[in-house]
Amino acid sequence: MARITVEAFATQMSGALGTRLVSLLLYGSAAREQGAGSGEQGGMNTLLIVDRADPALFAALAGPVRAWIAADHPPPLVLAEREWRDSADAFPIEYEDIRDGHRLLAGRDPWHGIRVQREHVRRQLEHELMGKLVHLRQAYAAEWNNGKRLSEVIAGTRAGFLTMLRAVLRLAGRPVPPTPEALVREAASVIGFSAEGLTEPAAYLDAVTRTAEYVNRMERNAP
C-alpha cells in the first residue's frame, strides 16, 4: 500500500486547487484520536469545500486524489461553499459530528456562522435510527441462522451506529468520549442497553432498538 501523510495530501490539494480551495478537513476517528497525522491509519476521511464544483475542479483533483486512494483512504467529500453553508439543516448529525472531531488541514475555518438546530438533529436521528432498525430486522429475518453473514451486517452498520450514539449523547447534554469503547459505555449508561457483547447479533439488535426508543421518548418529552 502506498503511503501518504495527511500533510502531504493537504499540500498536494492546495497546489492543485490554489484559491479554489476553501477548506480541507480531516474528520472522524483519525481526527478524534491521537496519531491523526501519522499517515499510518487506514480510511482517513476528508471533507473538501471549494468555490464551486465544476468539471475543471475534478480534473484538478485527479492527481492528488488518485494518490490518496492508492494509500487506501476514501476520496474526499466535496461541497461547494454555498452548499456547505446552506446544508446544516439537511445533515445536522454529520455537521455536529465533524465539528466535534475534525482537524483543519488547509484553507480557512469553515465553521463561522454555521448553526445546527437541536430539533433538526433529533428529527434526523429518529428517522435514521428507525430506518436502520427496520433494515437490520430485515437482515436478521433473512440471515438469522447464518452467523457469519450477521457478523458482516453488524460490522457494516457499526460506524453509522456509533455516529448516532454520539448524536444521542450531545442531545442528552452528556460528554462524547473519543474512543469507540468509551463511547459505547457512556451511551449504554444513558440509554439503558448492555455495553458488552455488541458483536453478538442479539445484543446489537437490542442496543439499536433501545436507542431508537430513547430518541422517540425525547420527542414525547419535548416541551
Cβ–Cβ under 8 Å, residues 169 and 190: yes
- Cα separations (Å) of 113 from 48, 96, 130? 18, 14, 31
| Strands 45-50 vs 102-107: parallel, antiparallel or unpaired | unpaired
Residue owning grid cell 467529500: 77
C-alpha–C-alpha distance, residues 84 and 68, integer Å: 23
Residue owning grid cell 456547505: 84
pLDDT beneath 50: ranges in the chain? 35-42
C-alpha cell at 223: 416541551
Cross-sheet strand order for the sheet of 102-107: 77-80, 45-50, 21-27, 102-107
CATH number of 6-107: 3.30.460
pLDDT at 222: 59
**Considering the entire predicted model, what is its pTM?**
0.88
Percent of all residues in the chain with a pLDDT value above 70, rounded to a whole number: 93
- Which residues are CB-contacts of 69 (< 8 A; sequence separation ≥ 6)? 75
C-alpha cell at 111: 465553521
C-alpha–C-alpha distance, residues 217 and 152, integer Å: 30
Cβ–Cβ under 8 Å, residues 192 and 185: no
Give the start-end residues of each E strand in the chain. Answer: 21-27, 45-50, 77-80, 102-107
Would you put residue 69 in left (φ > 0), alpha (ψ -120 to 50) or beta? alpha
- Which residues are CB-contacts of 66 (< 8 A; sequence separation ≥ 6)? none
Domain boundaries, the chain: 6-107, 118-220
